[in-house]
Amino acid sequence: MSILNEKTEETSKKIHLMVTNLCSRHCPNCCNKCYSLDDIPLVTEDELKDCESLFLTGGEPFEFCNVDALAKYYKEHYPNIENVIVYGNVKEFADYLFLANGTLNYVDGVSLSIKDKEDLDIWNRSVRNLMQYSGKCTNLIHNRLYCFMDGEIIEADRFPVIQRKWVNHKEWKPADDSIFRRAF
pLDDT at 91 over 80: yes
Q: What is the mean pLDDT of the chain?
A: 88
Whole-number pLDDT of residue 70: 97
pLDDT of 106 reads 95
pLDDT at 105: 92
**What's the confidence (pLDDT) of residue 132?**
64
What percent of the chain lies above the pLDDT cut of 70?
Answer: 93
Region 56-65: mean pLDDT is 96
Contacts 24+ apart (CB under 8 A), 69-78: 70/19, 71/106, 71/107, 71/108, 72/105, 72/106, 74/48, 75/106, 77/48, 78/48, 78/49, 78/51
Sign of the dihedral defined by the CA atoms of residues 48, 92, 109, 161, in that order: positive
> Is the per-residue pLDDT at 1 higher than 60?
no
**pLDDT over 70 at 76, yes or no:** yes
Of the candidates 140, 173, 178, the one whose C-alpha atom is nearest the C-alpha of residue 157 is 140
Q: Domain ranges in the chain?
A: 11-19+30-182
pTM: predicted TM-score of the whole model, two decimal places: 0.91
| Segment 129-154, tens digit of pLDDT | 776 666 667 778 888 999 998 877 77
Give me the mean pLDDT over the 103-130 stretch: 89
pLDDT attached to residue 134: 62
pLDDT (tens digit per residue) in 155-178: 777 788 888 887 776 667 778 899
Q: Report pLDDT for 133.
A: 60
- For residue 144, give the 3-state DSSP assignment: strand
